[in-house]
Structure 1
Amino acid sequence: MSDTSVSPGLPPEGYSAWLADLKNRIHGAQQRATLAVNRELVLLYWHIGRDILGRQAEQGWGTKVIDRLARDLRAAFPDMKGFSPRNLKYMRAFAEAWPDAEFVQQAAAQLPWGHNLVLLGKLPGPETRRWYAAKAIEHNWSRNVLVMQIEARLLERTGQAVSNFDSRLPRAQSDLARESLKDPYRFDFLGLTVEAQERDIESALVRHVTDFLLELGAGFAFVGKQVLLDVGGDEFFIDLLFYHLKLRCYVVIELKAGKFKPEHLGQLSFYLTAVDAQLKHPQDGPTIGLLLCKSKNKVVAEYALRDSARPMGVAEYQPVEALPAELQASLPSIEQIERELAGESNPAA
């Protein structure tokens, strides 16, 4: 009988593929187990919070009952974390913020407890919390990313770019395209000043492409910068080219370091025509253009987009984070600084 065993140290044929499949199944089981544990924990916390609220309302129990409950629960479950007075108060606030059990089961319980505390602590009302909760679930945001998106006022900026999508794209695609754009875009992660030129900003965005993609939002895939288009023997270069996985179309982004001008759209429209002719797959949707400028007159942008045949949007970008008004007021003016410098250079003055 022939020996079909393999030499020592070498796996049998097909073993590597089988091992990879087993690893994927084990990882999947671990993730499902973690989600199940998290769901049960969040629901438990909600029920405890609801009980505290109910008993305090119906029986007049004061806040000291929470301290007593914390001691008793920790004594009964010494190996279980989460029963501090502070966390019990969070449970009560959580139940008060979400009285609807169905929403807690379907949405809030899909998020880790830390995410739910961020929603409670940083957002003012249920509708705003629902929006950010849905986005966190949809895009699988970490707690830090959730905090960053809230502090960057993502909700207020989403869908605010001036565009002609309603009249240039089918309804389903136009709604998604509009929600895929923001105004303004925050580029404070680049560390550039407001005087930065277009090519400097473009190069910095590519160097920080992970942060840039996070700011653009879910669905954008980076294709390249200064993408060459050969049109009739003449060469043209697109600042930044992306592909949107949900819209199934190319997205051309052009940067302008100054104020928006209507003639900017002519150049962008030309690029969209060229991309549709040279790069677009027959099953792709129409290429979309986004013009990013330092500032714009909204009415001028609306007028310029009205008669354009190509789907385009116009939005502003902020290369550095704006200072709060109260801090700006406390800063010296240029004239004051100049006077002080002049005084230092001439002590006898």
Structure 2
Amino acid sequence: MSDIVPLPADYPAWLTELKTRIHNAQQRAALAVNRELVLLYWQIGQDILTRQTQQGWGAKVIERLARDLREAFPEIKGFSTRNLKYMRYFAEHCPNQQIGQQPAAQLPWFHIVTLLTRVQNPNEREWYALQTVQQGWSRSALDSHIKNQLFSRQGQAVTNFKVQLPAPQSALAQETLKDPYLFDFLGLGDEAHEREIENGLIRHITHFLLELGTGFAFVGRQHRLEVAGDEFFIDLLFYHIRLKCYVVVELKAVAFKPEHAGQLNFYLSAVDAQIKAEDDNPTIGLLLCKTQNRLVAEYALSGINKPIGVAEYELVRSLPEKLSSSLPTIEEIEQELTDLPEDGSTGSDD
């Protein structure tokens, strides 16, 4: 006789539901723990700040406090002298426990440290905080975006989206594109040809997708289109999940020319006619050029009837590297970074 007990017909669906509920409960528990930790760190920082102001505490008292807390709670990491100074810095710069309009407790502790110590402009800091919450950036991703100055590049491409797309989608599409795009991860010189760049982007597709941003799904390269017996090949074809549309990317290893927009306009018409599904939004085009004259690009796009963006790309980074590429772990902080000054500023570490 078999020991296998027949299962009810709805058992698989119920099991799936249970797994989802358990996973959601775990996420809520983790978020609750993080909120409590961030609140605790803020309270400790506020206490230190108050005592420094009222009682003239110096660095030696904080060092003693760190040692006493580590002895009392040896199983808990995070009570180093350096981290206590970060707590003070947090309380000083976020007196209402918010980064702009964003509750700091939505973010893990070292995301908060990254934002406070590496971004000085309050509006910029709030933007990164919001994007981190919405996009689910890891600390390394956040640090990379700050280093690459995403705030100053996002939404800066020349486009005709306001005219060619309905209002809700046009704003999202505009924010999706950036200028310039950074392709320094390819290891190519400024004189690289289009096919070299295309081959490199495919070899480094993960880096390419990260630079394009959230929502892009790679469909193919040199995608073949046939129109009345003639063959045409799209450099790179993507689908954007949030925009719900195809995105045609054309590479030009030269300065932007108005005829580039006309060629891309033709490709978009063909994709809309042959590939786009009925429930897809209109296909968007992105011209990546070595350089561009923004006014020339604006004039060229004003006579185009398809949504197109024009942006430059950089094979060799020209943006100033004011920031290091990653933050240390809690254990590395005391050894790799110098102590904060008595006034709570971040000194040369920024």
Question: Which range, TM-score by smaller chain?
Answer: 0.7 to 0.9
Q: Are residues 133 and 102 of structure 1, via their aligned partners in 2, closer, same or farther at CA, if it must alter by over 3 Å? A: closer
Greater alpha carbon shift after TM alignment, 66-75 vs 130-139:
66-75
What is the CA distance between 1:153 and its match in structure 2?
0.5
Contact 2:100 2:126 in 1 (8 A): no
Contact 1:43 1:105 in 2 (8 A): no
Q: Does 1:220 align with 2:252?
A: no
Greater alpha carbon shift after TM alignment, 173-182 vs 112-121:
112-121
Q: What is the rounded CA distance, in whole Å, between the counterparts of 2:54 and 2:138 in structure 1? A: 38
Q: Does 1:72 align with 2:68?
A: yes
Q: What is the rounded CA distance, in whole Å, between the counterparts of 2:98 and 2:191 in structure 1? A: 51
Question: What percentage of residue pairs aligned between the two structures are identical?
Answer: 63
Q: Which residue of 2 aligns with 1:154?
A: 150
Q: Are residues 88 and 315 of structure 1, via their aligned partners in 2, closer, same or farther at CA, if it must alter by over 3 Å? A: same
What is the CA distance between 1:115 and its match in structure 2?
1.2
Contact 1:159 1:181 in 2 (8 A): yes
What is the CA distance between 1:251 and its match in structure 2?
0.9
What is the CA distance between 1:254 and its match in structure 2?
0.4
Contact 2:99 2:129 in 1 (8 A): no
Q: What is the rounded CA distance, in whole Å, between the counterparts of 2:119 and 2:3 in structure 1? A: 64
Q: Are residues 136 and 156 of structure 1, via their aligned partners in 2, closer, same or farther at CA, if it must alter by over 3 Å? A: same
Q: 1:248 aligns with which of 244, 251, 258?
A: 244
Normalised TM-score (structure 1): 0.84
Aligned AA for 2:45? G
Q: Which residue of 2 aligns with 1:321?
A: 317
Runs of 5+ unmatched residues, structure 1: 326-349
What is the CA distance between 1:77 and its match in structure 2?
2.4
CA RMSD for the aligned pairs?
A: 2.4
Q: What is the rounded CA distance, in whole Å, between the counterparts of 1:52 and 1:145 in structure 2? A: 31
How many residue pairs were aligned? 320
Greater alpha carbon shift after TM alignment, 315-324 vs 188-197:
315-324
Q: What is the rounded CA distance, in whole Å, between the counterparts of 2:316 and 2:128 in structure 1? A: 24
Contact 1:43 1:104 in 2 (8 A): no
What is the CA distance between 1:267 and its match in structure 2?
0.4
SS in 2 for 1:225: strand
Q: How does 1:1-349 map to 2 (within 5 A)?
A: 5-6=3-4, 23-101=19-97, 107-322=103-318
Contact 2:271 2:283 in 1 (8 A): yes
Contact 2:100 2:123 in 1 (8 A): no
Normalised TM-score (structure 2): 0.84
Runs of 5+ unmatched residues, structure 2: 322-350
Tell me the alpha carbon deviations over residues 29-70 of structure 1, each in whole angstroms, 9 at most, x when there is no partner: 333322221221111101111222223224443443322322
What is the CA distance between 1:263 and its match in structure 2?
0.5
Contact 1:184 1:316 in 2 (8 A): yes
Q: What is the rounded CA distance, in whole Å, between the counterparts of 1:318 and 1:123 in structure 2? A: 23
Q: What is the rounded CA distance, in whole Å, between the counterparts of 1:105 and 1:73 in structure 2? A: 32
Q: What is the rounded CA distance, in whole Å, between the counterparts of 1:275 and 1:261 in structure 2? A: 22
Tell me the alpha carbon deviations over residues 240-294 of structure 1, each in whole angstroms, 9 at most, x when there is no partner: 1111111111111100011110010110000011111111112221111110000
Contact 1:97 1:126 in 2 (8 A): no
Q: What is the rounded CA distance, in whole Å, between the counterparts of 1:102 and 1:141 in structure 2? A: 18
Aligned AA for 2:209? L
Aligned AA for 2:4? V
Contact 2:272 2:283 in 1 (8 A): yes
Tell me the alpha carbon deviations over residues 216-248 of structure 1, each in whole angstroms, 9 at most, x when there is no partner: 111111111111111111111111111111111
Q: Are residues 251 and 113 of structure 1, via their aligned partners in 2, closer, same or farther at CA, if it must alter by over 3 Å? A: same
Aligned AA for 1:87? N
Q: What is the rounded CA distance, in whole Å, between the counterparts of 1:278 and 1:315 in structure 2? A: 26
Aligned AA for 2:291? S
Aligned AA for 2:287? L
Aligned AA for 1:303? Y
What is the CA distance between 1:19 and its match in structure 2?
6.1
